[in-house]
């Protein structure tokens, strides 16, 4: 596949923009913690960037081989779930979850990881492909439910 097709597929499948970078030497900006496909004049390089260092580098001599291999690497990890809200009230979290599911957004609640002092936080997670739609649904809920700056930054 060509890079244009790769980009379309990644968008359709919900991969977040911060999960990968594709560009040439002039646009390289040492992205951290993402998979990279660097387009060179004669060599295509696929690698994982961590703290500005290229790890697990593979080199390819043509666009098709590089794009196919890069896609296979990203498929191993899949699209990330994105947090659209972090609530302390379980009932409100359940209501938001129901509203998202009614809008055909594949959402889930995660309450096992984060705790704020003694109050649990119910994080509402959605796949990247549903992120914009989920933000639209979230915008319809009453103000004051979600503290400022708690999830869902675009």
Cα 12 from chain centre: 12
Contact 71, 1 (CB under 8 A): yes
Model-level pTM greater than 0.85? no
Please choose, from the candidates 129, 148, 146, the residue with its C-alpha nearest in 3D space to the C-alpha of residue 95.
146
Please choose, from the candidates 92, 136, 87, 93, the residue with its C-alpha nearest in 3D space to the C-alpha of residue 114.
87
Contact 124, 111 (CB under 8 A): no
pLDDT in tens, 91-123: 888 999 999 999 999 888 886 644 444 556 788
pLDDT in tens, 20-77: 889 887 776 667 788 899 988 889 999 988 877 888 889 999 999 999 999 998 888 7
What is the topology classification, in CATH, of domain 81-138? Answer: Alpha-Beta Plaits (3.30.70)
Beta 81-87 vs 119-120: how paired, if at all? unpaired
Domain ranges of the chain: 3-77, 81-138
Cα 95 from chain centre: 24
- Rounded Cα distance between 137 and 142, Å, is 11
């Amino acid at each position: 596949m060509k890079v244009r097709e790769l980009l379309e597929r990644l968008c359709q499948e919900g991969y977040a923009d911060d999960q990968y970078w594709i560009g040439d030497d002039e646009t390289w900006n040492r992205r951290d913690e993402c998979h990279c496909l660097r387009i060179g004049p004669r060599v295509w390089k696929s690698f994982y960037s961590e703290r500005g260092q290229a790890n697990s580098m593979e080199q390819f001599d043509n666009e098709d081989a590089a794009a196919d291999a890069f896609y296979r690497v990203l498929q191993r990890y899949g699209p990330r779930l994105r947090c659209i809200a972090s609530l302390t009230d379980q009932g409100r979290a359940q209501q938001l979850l129901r509203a998202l599911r009614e809008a055909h957004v594949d959402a889930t609640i995660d309450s096992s990881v984060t705790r704020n002092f003694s109050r649990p936080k119910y994080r509402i997670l959605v796949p990247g492909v549903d992120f914009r739609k989920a933000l639209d649904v979230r915008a319809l809920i009453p103000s004051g439910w979600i503290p400022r700056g708690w999830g869902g930054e675009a």
